[in-house]
Chain A
Amino acid sequence: MCVFCLQTCVKAAHALPQTVKIVEVGPRDGLQNEKTVVPTEAKINLINMLSESGLPVIEATSFVSPKWVPQMADQVEVMQGISKKPGVSYPVLTPNLKGFQAAVSAGASEVAIFGAASELFSKKNINCSVEESLQRFEEVMKAAKEAAVPVRGYVSCVVGCPYEDRLYSMGCYEISLGDTIGVGTPGSMTKMLEAVTKEVPVSALAVHCHDTYGQALANILIALQVSVVDSSVAGLGGCPYAQGASGNVATEDVVYMLHGLGIKTGVDLSKLMDAGAFICRTINRKTSSKVAQATCKL
């Protein structure tokens, strides 16, 4: 295992992408898990600041029921309030057809669907079985195809990836593979990608690593045949339904690493840090980004 992993690592080290697309999930995945309900105006300001930093994709909000995720109750106002920058995508989460329709009415031009890791996780997180969730997604996919709206799929891959191939064959243009509770290491990441790339081309994959065990950057590094990385400004948020799961990887720390590797992201780190500082002040919490912390100290 050790020798295999390191050999794969060495191979990977020579095949780094020239550009990595960062998918900023702070405004949705991040804020969704913050206890303080963030005022709509602050969310809009955050998204606008992130747009100015050069991020190409910013997940703006979630069209789930406010009963489940009160933080996202202002989904329509947010969608309609942000200044959409040309060339930047603002996908929104849509768990079902109703959410999709509401999203499109509010002006969304890209959506995302979120598959669960296991039956238990599915029940707790989206209140239905895995098969039921896939049927809902089929409905969303059909409607999205008709409206020419691209769909991104999220899969939680803690114990292997259950159905990333189904989401891809349904029509998701990209599948984000999530280490939802952050337990992965470069060892498990390598194995997981080996298995997934047999079913889905690497160009259609993204990684969504949590930093709960401090492994996120190492996992992202090892995954870098994949050229799309999800992260959250200031390391905001986690998953409210996976006990103990917290700590999205901080976008600032990811960008610092990628730029140090000579990989282009299009992101201005300094403007990104401004956005992080803003949201942390607003919700009165310390940033989880080490780069931001270090920069403040110097």
Chain B
Amino acid sequence: QYKYRKIPLCYMEIVPTRVKIQLIDMLSATGLCVIEATSFVSSKWVPQMADHTDVVKGIQRVPHVQYPVLTPNIQGFQDAVAAGATEVAVFGSASETFSRRNINCSISESILRFEEVISAAKDRQIPVRGYVSCALGCPHEGHIEPSQVAEVAKKLYEMGCYEISLGDTIGVGTPGSMFKMLQTVMNDVPISALAVHCHDTYGQALPNILTALQMGVSVVDSAVAGLGGCPYAQGSSGNVSTEDVLYMLHGMGIETGVNLDKVIETGDFICNALGRRTNSKVAQARSRTL
């Protein structure tokens, strides 16, 4: 069984709240069991997520589906809980420079902030997921040693994150570097607690995910229609499309519980709403053969 997560929108134009809510509601009906709904970061940094409270309050929660939200610090956590969030995520980096530029503090400072969040979350029995960005390369530092990734992943896991998502933030990874990185991280974090978050900037996402699956990873992050990227990593674009991931997994006989046609429909909806083309090759191919 594999879990799928839709990740938050990182998009230039501000998407209306009602569109975000409809998107999440449609995704809830596809069989996805985890849908990352929004982010309680300062709207100064990420204006797209300014309506976080309205989104969390507005969505129709489906039983057995989780709706985690990003919470970079204790303030964000408290706001998230007040809005009704029942799962949160913290976002660390394997790269010192990326950490400073993305969340405006060093890795060790960010860990202190996360400790506060995780402690408060424990008190309320709210599960926390950890992300480690730049796991296969950094837009500023270039090569990142697997040991750097392992160090941050281990800290987050030991602090209490139930799962660590390892992100190839700028999509430079290949099956070669994915293999080496996972081999190292697996020494410190059990494989069952690891997820991969691959970007398709260099077209490598699916082979990288395949490599991770071969090594025992069973949680994959993806974005419907391949929406989004990272506003803080220059040139970085292209989350892997949920549709393309599903197509591959289903073709391998792997169960996901997700209805591909409904995901394609949802992708069509959001792309129409945003006035943009899908990044999903499966969705493109399907629309051509109709």
B162 within 8 A of A: no
A24 within 8 A of B: no
CB distance from B177 to the nearest CB of A (A): 6
The one of A182, A221, A246 that contacts B175, using a Cβ cutoff of 8 Å: A221
Query: Is A182 a contact of B285 with CB atoms below 8 Å?
Result: yes
Chain A minimum-CB-distance residue to B244: A214
| Chain A residues in 8 Å Cβ range of B206 | 214-215, 217-218
| Chain A residues in 8 Å Cβ range of B171 | 294
**Number of residues on chain A facing chain B (CB within 8 A):** 41
Stretch in contact with the other chain, from B34-42, B78-86, B149-157, B246-254: B246-254
A198 within 8 A of B: no
| Chain B residues in 8 Å Cβ range of A188 | 251
Contact with B along A181-192 (1 / 0, CB 8 A): 010111110000
Query: Is B207 a contact of A218 with CB atoms below 8 Å?
Result: yes
Contact with A along B182-213 (1 / 0, CB 8 A): 00000000000000000011111011011101
| Chain B residues in 8 Å Cβ range of A259 | 174
CB distance from B253 to the nearest CB of A (A): 3
CB distance from B64 to the nearest CB of A (A): 22
Given contacts A261-B175, A290-B203, A294-B202, contact A215 B214 (CB under 8 A): no
| Chain B residues in 8 Å Cβ range of A214 | 206, 241, 244, 247-248, 280-282
Interface residues of A, dominant DSSP: helix
Given contacts A185-B252, A212-B281, A260-B175, contact A243 B207 (CB under 8 A): no
Chain A minimum-CB-distance residue to B136: A260
CB distance from B204 to the nearest CB of A (A): 6
Q: Which 3 A-B pairs have the closest CB atoms?
A: A260-B174, A185-B251, A1-B253
Residues of B within 8 A of A (CB): 171, 173-177, 179, 200-204, 206-207, 209-211, 213-214, 234-235, 237-238, 241, 244, 247-248, 250-255, 280-282, 285, 288-289
| A and B contact pairs by CB, cutoff 8 A, 23 listed | A5-B252, A6-B252, A9-B213, A13-B179, A182-B285, A186-B252, A212-B281, A213-B244, A213-B247, A213-B282, A214-B244, A214-B280, A215-B248, A215-B251, A217-B206, A221-B211, A247-B281, A260-B174, A260-B177, A262-B176, A290-B201, A290-B202, A294-B202
